[in-house]
């Protein structure tokens, strides 16, 4: 079976750990748990041509005090760039991370995850900005770790992109 390492990256408290918990264990907790370092999980994604065992590295969130350790990204086949739609600054962090990752590792498949879609009435991210990214060729998926909307889809899309490269 094919195995591929993927990483969850983004600002702190965007829902990276909750997305992994929903995807791998089909659970959601309202309790916030800060990721210290990295947490690793696995799940098989069934693609039409082949099952792929995703080794999911849930990396701590970036903030003013803590920057992403590029060593965690080594050997990564793809990543989910997670944004909290209720906090516009997390999209700025995502831009910075994507530029840094591309500068360090070249073009690696990624999907921009617009998380917390279940509370769009609190969103700060402008839909026009999301459309602009889609027009640039970025894959953007709206998700909710709480309700499960888009979660399976985002991992499927990333796995497919990885297998096409």
pLDDT, average across residues 69-89 = 95
Q: What CATH number has the domain bearing residue 102?
A: 3.40.50.300
Structure tokens at 96: 């910075």
Boundaries of domain holding 77: 2-164
pLDDT class for 1, splitting at 50, 70, 90?
Answer: confident
pLDDT, average across residues 142-152 = 97
pLDDT, average across residues 69-77 = 91
Digit-coded pLDDT (tens) for 27-64: 988 776 767 678 999 999 999 989 999 999 999 887 76
58 burial type by CB count under 10 A (0-12 exposed, 13-18 middle, 19+ buried): buried
Count of the separate structural domains present in the chain: 1
Q: What is the value of pTM for the model shown?
A: 0.94
Residues 6+ apart with CB under 8 A from 80: 6, 7, 8, 9, 10, 16, 19, 110, 111, 113, 154, 155, 158
């Amino acid at each position: 079976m094919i195995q591929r390492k993927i990483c969850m990256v983004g600002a702190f408290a965007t829902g990276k750990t909750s997305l992994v918990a929903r995807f791998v264990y089909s659970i959601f907790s309202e309790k916030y748990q800060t990721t210290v370092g990295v947490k690793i999980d696995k799940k098989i994604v069934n693609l039409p041509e082949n099952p792929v065992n995703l080794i999911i590295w849930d990396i701590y969130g970036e903030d003013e005090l803590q920057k992403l350790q590029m060593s965690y990204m080594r050997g990564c086949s793809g990543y989910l760039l997670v944004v909290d739609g209720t906090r516009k600054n997390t999209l700025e962090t995502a831009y910075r991370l994507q530029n840094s990752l591309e500068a360090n590792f070249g073009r690696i498949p990624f999907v921009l995850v617009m998380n917390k879609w279940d509370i769009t009435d609190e969103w700060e991210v402008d839909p026009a900005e999301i459309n602009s990214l889609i027009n640039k060729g970025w894959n953007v998926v709206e998700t909710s770790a709480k309700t499960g909307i888009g979660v399976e889809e985002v991992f499927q899309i990333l796995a497919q992109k990885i297998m096409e490269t």
